[in-house]
Structure 1
Amino acid sequence: MDPIQTVEVALYQVPLKKAVSDAKVLTGRQRPLAHVDLLTATIETVNGARGFGFSYSLRAGGSALLAHAKDLAGALVGEDPNDIGRLWEKLAWLGASVSRTGVSVQSIAAFDVALWDLKAKSADVSIGKLLGAYRESVPCYNTSGGYLNASTSEVLANVDRSLELGLGGIKLKVGQPELKKDIERVAAVRKHVGDDVPMMVDANQQWDVTTALRAGRMLDPFNLVWLEEPTNAYDYRGHAQLKAKLDTPIATGEMLSSVAECGELIRHDSVTFLQPDVPRVGGITPFLKIANSADLNRLKLAPHFVMEIHIHLGCAYPHEAWVEHIEWLEPAFNERLEIKGGQMFLPQRPGLGFSLSEEAARWRVA
């Protein structure tokens, strides 16, 4: 492949149709989420081949992602885009004095995804196929309809819409000040959908280990696929204790931003479902290292958010994998994922399979 000639980065604020709130909002730690900051990277080679990638942040941090990406972009010019691993290290070391986690790697993620997009396009296959797909589709579940700002009746209506769209599972937010309300909400949805529809709940780190254990025991009878982020994201030992004592499988990992941090979850036997996030850990390159460790320990995989990227990684994972359906970024792209019969299907388009829509231009902030 010819060397890289130009690199462009941009920031968009993609609005949500309605602001959403989880347990962190109810406790005053965060404000309702009204938009997603979308950092994009477009890499073009001398012969005109183009790769597109993106990263994101929620509530704050978008301007920091853009600033760091601008600092790094010029370092890719003249490089061989095939050398994705080496280029990831080059960019990481350039920003090593500020960090090799967080904003630093989340900026790198946009470039990394763009390089994988470019590589897969040159082979005329999807990224999932390039990585050696094990399957053409994975089970998917909806999260966006189960936030705590919605009443129980609204959640039930959202559940019906999700199932009509062909989604296979439903995830509910929990972690309200009164645990009794969480249990009533979960019970209402379970009764509404019956015993056969997969359900998950997500506490968004709301509880300490003692409260999480009490809540988990009350949730065990509902036959949940998993209990997500029951306690602090960095409490590897606490999650391990909950995994050992509860019938419901434990899932976490979305807030972690390095291979090493995700490795601690594996080392402590903290999870049944590992939930790394490609943009947050720095791109597809580090995600593959995490997935390899998870594979060796025969963990299940349920990557967080950005289904447009994670469908490729879910299909390329050897064991059970779920992809989270959150439609917030759909207006920014021209393409849509195929969903039917409870499954999300790997795009047949080359590369990532997504391009920015004309509507996205209205949301460009820098």
Structure 2
Amino acid sequence: MKIVEIREKTLPISSPIRNAYIDFSKMTLSLVAVITDVIRDGKPVVGYGFNSNGRYGQGTLMRERFIPRIMQADPATLIDDSGNNLDPHKIWATMFSNEKPGGHGERSVAIGTIDMAIWDAVAKIEGKPLFQLLADRYGNGQPDRRVFVYAAGGYYYPGQDHEKLKDEMRSYIDRGYTVVKKKIGGASLDEDLRRIDSILSVLQDGQKLAVDANGRFDLDTAIAYAKALSQYDLFWYEEPGDPLDFELQAALRNYYPNPMATGEDLFSMQDARNLIRYGGMRADRDWLQFDCALSYGLVEYLRTLEMLHEHGWSRARCIPHGGHQMSLNIAAGLGLGGNESYPDLFQPFGGFPDTVKVEHGFITMPDLPGIGFEGKADLYQVMQQLSA
């Protein structure tokens, strides 16, 4: 068996929204199709992958470095010991060959996107949902098909007022979410607090708000927000400062006793380890948001989970960024704490298979082969156009 072809297409996911740091008016992503010579139901097995929002498409890196390395390798070096399936770890090592360590940059996104497509193909070849394959290979064989999800929204956009913000949050609650998220740092502290108060006015018992600064603040501003936010029972205070400013993150524990979250912009096991070593994160309350699609894929994510175990962290403290079905499968198969969700944004790539509904803040994973992209009609239509 072998990989016949790998295709990439850069697609727009633009939207007139912004967080505290960037706007999404020119945002793109890479969609990848890994076409194999394995036939199921009369058709070649194709694995699909795409990168998360917030980082742009990486087609040039893929086409110039990573796809050629895979396609020029001896196919026998890319399959598992049974000879019946691809080996994601061997393929990852092939992609990373002749790469220096450190300075991860955008290559982690390029590799992570291809890695997602490889895992989709591997699970389809084995005839299993990816979450079941992961539970079989790296767990006890018993996935937790019920996964916590929260609704990421609350972006700044032209014409947004408090009533529109409240309507947005009500729409998430009406769809079954119990935790919603709002961006902060794109307005003044006083205005952000007024927006928080507006959202809290529509939440009921058992429903919570998380806030996200997207790395905008210096230490003094992060502390000012921490003090002001301490009056609320928030789900978390997310990424207050630059993601690599571990000293800032560690200092905040002296000013903010409630849960914090960060990690979505750390793209390797080594950077994640530095956060755990030096960032002052508290394993009893804080949350880790590493996103496999941006950080070299599931092969690297498995290394990150092992590192967390060695440092006394439960993988249940991980709620990945990105809102994609790959992380949903990892959460179900490997016991993470949940996953981000974009109910309305970055379509058709955000969201769940069409039959999946949010109930009391949780979704239940359906029995679909691979990652399950085929269960989302609008997304699968785009994917088929690439692989046809």
TM-score range, shorter-chain basis?
Answer: 0.7 to 0.9
1:220 partnered with 2:226 = no
Q: 1:218, 1:322 → 2: CA distance?
A: 27
Instruction: Return the alpha-carbon distance in structure 1 between the equivalents of residues 55 and 274 of structure 2.
Output: 27
Q: Is the 8 A contact 1:43 1:114 kept in 2?
A: no
> What CA deviation, in whole Å up to 9, does each residue of 1:267-315 have, x standing for no partner?
1253311110111111111112212333442361110113211111222
Q: Distance in 2 between matches of 1:350 and 1:60?
A: 28
Q: Find the residue that maps to 1:340 and give its secondary structure.
A: coil
Deviation at 1:141, TM superposition (A): 1.2
Aligned position for 1:50: 46
Moved more, 240-249 or 57-66: 57-66
Q: 1:248 to 1:313 in 2, by over 3 A?
A: same
Match of 1:276 in 2: 290
Normalised by the length of structure 2, the TM-score is 0.82
Distance 1:84 1:34 in 2: 32
Matched-pair contact (CA < 8 Å) for 1:331–1:360: no
- 1:43–1:115 Cα contact (<8 Å) kept: no
RMSD: 2.7
Among candidates 11, 29, 38, match of residue 30 of structure 2: 38
Alpha-carbon contact 2:129-2:369 (below 8 Å) kept: yes
Q: Tell me, yes or no, if the aligned pair for 2:30 and 2:113 is still in contact at 8 Å.
A: no
Counterpart of 2:156 in structure 1 is 148
Distance 1:46 1:121, change over 3 A: closer
Choose the corresponding residue for 1:183, options 186, 189, 193: 193
Measure the CA separation in 2 of the matches of 1:117 and 1:6.
15
Residue 178 (structure 1) shift: 1.5
Aligned match of 1:27: none
In structure 2, C-alpha distance between the alignment counterparts of 1:199 and 1:111, rounded to whole Å: 34
Partners of 1:348 and 1:4 lie apart in 2 by: 26
1:288 to 2:285 alignment: no
**Aligned partner (choices 273, 277, 280) of residue 267 of structure 1:** 277
Q: 1:351 to 1:32 in 2, by over 3 A?
A: closer
Aligned partner of 1:84 in structure 2 is: 88
Name which of structure 1's ranges 277-286 and 47-56 shifts more when overlaid on structure 2: 47-56
- Residues 11, 30 of structure 2: 8 Å contact kept: yes
In the TM superposition, what is the alpha-carbon distance from 1:344 to its structure 2 partner? Answer: 2.3
Counterpart among 307, 314, 319 of residue 298 in structure 1: 314
Do structure 1's residue 309 and structure 2's residue 309 form an aligned pair?
no
Give the secondary-structure state (helix, strand or coil) at the position aligned to 2:51.
strand
Q: 2:358 matched to 1:342?
A: no
Deviation at 1:236, TM superposition (A): 1.4
1:100 and 1:86 map into 2 onto residues whose CA distance is 22
Query: 2:4 is matched with which residue?
Result: 6
Q: Distance in 2 between matches of 1:108 and 1:174?
A: 31
Distance 1:65 1:349 in 2: 31
Q: Is the counterpart of residue 131 in structure 1 residue 134 in structure 2?
A: yes
1:6–1:77 contact (8 Å) kept in structure 2: no
Tell me which moved more, 192-201 or 290-299. Answer: 290-299
- Contact between 2:48 and 2:383, CA under 8 Å: does it hold in 1? no
Provide the C-alpha distance between the structure 1 equivalents of 2:246 and 2:101, rounded to a whole number of angstroms: 25
**How many residues of Structure 1 are paired with residues of Structure 2 in the alignment?**
353
Question: Could you give the per-residue CA deviations for residues 149-196 of structure 1, whole angstroms, max 9, x where no partner exists?
Answer: 232221111111111111221100000342111111111111221342
Alignment of 1:188-203 (within 5 A): 188-203=198-213
- Summarize the Cα distance change of 1:110–1:310 in structure 2 as closer, same or farther, 3 Å threshold: same
**Residues 226, 248 of structure 1: 8 Å contact kept:** yes
What amino acid maps onto 2:11 in structure 1?
A: Q
Q: Secondary structure at the match of 1:91?
A: helix
1:20 aligns with 2:37: no
Whether the aligned pair in 1 keeps the contact of 2:209 and 2:234 (CA below 8 Å) is: yes
| Cα contact 1:143–1:324 (8 A) shared by 2 | yes
1:192 is paired with a residue whose SS is coil
1:180-234 deviations in Å (ceiling 9; x for gaps): 1111111111122134212100001111122212211211221011110101100
What is the TM-score with the length of structure 1 in the denominator?
0.86
Whole-angstrom distance in 2 between the partners of 1:127 and 1:151 = 41
In the alignment, structure 1 residue 358 sits paired with structure 2 residue 345: no
* Residues 349 and 77 of structure 1, relative CA distance in 2, 3 Å threshold: farther
Rounded to whole Å, the distance in 1 between the matches of 2:381 and 2:369 is: 21
**Alignment partners' CA distance in 1, 2:344 and 2:367:** 20
CA distance in 2, matches of 1:248, 1:57: 27
Q: Can you give the 5+ residue segments of structure 2 that lack an aligned partner in the other structure?
A: 80-84, 136-141
